[in-house]
Amino acid sequence: MKILLLEDVYKLGRAGDIKKVAPGYARNYLMPQGMAVLATPGAVKQAGRIQKQGEIKRVKVNQELGGVAEQLDGKRFTFAAKASETRRLYGSINTLMIAEVVSEDIGVTVEAKQIESQPLRMIGKHVVKVRLTVDLIPEIEIIVYREGESPESALEEEEKEALRAEEALIEILDEDYEQDAETEEGAEEIEPAPETDASDDDADAEAEVEEDESE
């Protein structure tokens, strides 16, 4: 169904845009939240006015949060958690936990839905986006480390794991290269069958014909 956006909706469109969406998405989320209305002929006539209002609001909000976005971009947050020897957490660091820490740090309320991340379940560094507005989406670093250890130890452990994985890949590639080389050597050892001379075949055929005629 076609709807007219009354507000900016991340990854969908900006205020005043006419979009085609699933009926359930429109009726169960966009419309109840006051973010869109059905794109009737009467509503579509208001699209231009809604776009201008949306632009004014967008500029104002971006100006207000521009400094916050700069403050957040590249900022590091740390979480201590229990984990196994394989670096997997006994639980996870979810978006609500991240939003609470970010909100406390910048003094601006950030909701869990503004944190673009799946639950974090591994020790190490994770890059996460914080959607302040449709235009301001700074990236932050989340360092998850073992309880009783330091954030730096988690980064060192992650680097060692990456190095081991790289070495294992190189070993596999070397084995494949050796196998290919052996296959090529085996193919070279097979001598091609001797080629027959076409002229000899023709001569043999003529000889057989002459013998038949003589008989």
Tokens 């020790």, residue located: 123
pLDDT at 155: 87
d(CA 22, CA 3): 10
Nearest Cα residue to 126 out of 68, 79, 177: 79
**Alpha-carbon dihedral angle through residues 179, 182, 183, 184, given to the nearest 10 degrees:** 120
Q: Report the length, in residues, of the chain.
A: 215
pLDDT at 9: 92
pLDDT at 204: 56
- DSSP three-state, residue 125: strand
pLDDT at 201: 55
**Sequence letter at residue 90:** Y
d(CA 185, CA 206): 43
pLDDT at 211: 52
d(CA 32, CA 36): 8
- Model pTM score: 0.68
pLDDT at 115: 96
Query: pLDDT in tens for each of the 215 residues of the chain?
Result: 999 999 999 889 999 999 999 999 999 999 999 999 999 999 999 999 999 999 999 999 999 999 999 999 999 999 999 999 889 999 999 999 999 999 999 888 999 999 999 999 999 999 999 999 999 999 999 999 999 999 998 888 788 877 877 777 887 887 777 777 667 766 666 656 665 555 555 555 555 545 555 44
pLDDT at 15: 95
d(CA 196, CA 172): 44
Phi, psi angles (nearest 5°) of residue 182:
-65, -40
pLDDT at 171: 76
Which domains, from first to last, does the chain contain?
2-66 (3.40.5.10), 71-157 (3.10.430.100)
